[in-house]
Amino acid sequence: MGPLSGIRIIELAGIGPGPFACMLLADMGADIIRVDRADKVNAGVFDRPNLELMNRGRRSIGVDLKNPEGVELVLQLVEQADALIEGFRPGVTERMGVGPDVCLARNPRLVYGRMTGWGQDGPMAQAAGHDINYIALAGALAHFGRKGGKPTPPINLVGDFGGGGMFMAFGIACGILEAKTSGRGQVVDVAMVDGSAVLMSMMWGLKALGIWQDEAGVNLLDTGAPFYDTYETSDGKFVSIGSLEPQFYAELIRRIGWEGEELPFQMDPSGYETMREKFTALFKTKTRDEWDEILLATDACYAPVLTMTEARENEHIRARNTIVERNGMPQPAPAPRFSRTAPEIQRDAPWPGQHTDEALTDWGVDASAVAKLREGGAIA
């Protein structure tokens, strides 16, 4: 029922941002076949590969892409697909026999998504890397940290998932939409370094205006300002304050009982450390729950800092079903939400090769052909 219902996508199994992109697309209703390596069948990366949440929503087939018949099988599936997503280094799928030129020759309308860290070209294209490296080169990592401290990776949300997976899902959707108009497919080059740079667009604008500095921890949004920071409470927990606008800051000051006191002007940097010391001392006088009673759901721009476990039990999160449980496993619900074509988790994450026969049959491969492919070792 999701907005991408009827869209068919092939995923050449990888890790990180590619699976995340496919999870997003599957949540929106796309029919995705995940092509796992035949030697991964019954030998998952983890003891319980079916708990890898980013693999949810699609079916897995086990294919030996070193076997010519396995390659031909994937190309037959390509003929029926709207898109293909791969996450290998540049040139790898060409050597496997399923590169973009071959695939587009079989299906000129195909959108061929390529996920890499550095991109398909450039002096670093063939180098290994991870999220921390991509966001470092993109000029993002330098801005995560406190004044005088070293850069702190924001786990792998910015490079892998924001700059990579979400840009792949966006690129695939755009490519499919364009192909429906032009009748022609194309290659979508998704580089995590590019996407991470795009995520910094607002900061580039602020820098051009002279109100963002290269030094970390001295700007409005990177803990430089005392009214956009986290503070420890008396029970060793933390709260967040984001009272940027003057009316919200005034509401914060009123609710914490400082209205009428002689305080530094909110936007005067010379008073920042004074206010930070005052906030630090104040928030340590009450527990996090006590601060919730005073500030939560007000225009003071406040929220408790919750762990994943705590977030699941939060009243607002529960009211919106932001975290759902499927077969006993908590996980984020699909987002965004649609009023008519509601997205949903279509199925649990599969074991590698779990749906080989079922998925191939649904995509038009005859049962006798499936048996022959298995006999020849092309599928598992």
Q: pLDDT of the chain along its 380 residues, tens only?
A: 899 999 999 999 999 999 999 999 999 999 999 999 998 776 545 566 677 899 999 999 999 999 999 999 999 999 999 999 999 999 999 999 999 999 999 999 999 999 999 999 999 999 999 999 999 999 999 999 999 999 999 999 999 999 999 999 999 999 999 999 999 999 999 999 999 999 999 999 999 999 999 999 999 999 999 999 999 999 999 999 999 999 999 999 999 999 999 999 999 999 999 999 999 999 999 999 999 999 999 999 999 999 999 999 999 999 999 999 998 899 999 999 999 999 999 999 999 999 999 999 999 999 999 999 999 999 99
pTM of the model: 0.95
Of 362, 2, 4, 20, the C-alpha closest to 180 is 4
Is 130 a catalytic site residue? Answer: yes
Nearest-angstrom CA–CA distance, 353 and 356: 5
CA distance 162 to 240: 22
Check residue 39 and give its pLDDT: 86
Among the options 27, 64, 160, 229, which is catalytic?
160
Residue 59: alpha-carbon gap to chain centroid: 20
Query: What distance in Å separates the CA atoms of residue 78 and residue 9, rounded to the nearest whole number?
Result: 8
304 Cβ partners below 8 Å, 6+ apart?
Answer: 237, 238, 239, 240, 288, 291, 292, 296, 310
In angstroms, rounded to a whole number, what is the distance separating the alpha carbons of residues 196 and 137?
Answer: 9
Q: Is 155 exposed, middle or buried (0-12, 13-18, 19+ CB in 10 A)?
A: exposed
- Residue 255's H or E segment, with its range, is helix 246-255
- Inter-residue contact 168 to 17 (CB < 8 Å): yes
Q: Which residues contact 157 (CB under 8 A, 6 or more apart)?
A: none
What is the model's pLDDT at position 1? 84
> How many angstroms separate the Cα of 96 from the Cα of each of 102, 111, 174?
11, 18, 27
Neighbour count for residue 231 (Cβ, 10 Å): 20
Counting every residue, how long is the chain?
380
Domains (ranges, CATH) in the chain? 8-199+332-375 (3.40.50.10540), 228-319 (3.30.1540.10)
At 69, is the secondary structure helix, strand, or coil? helix
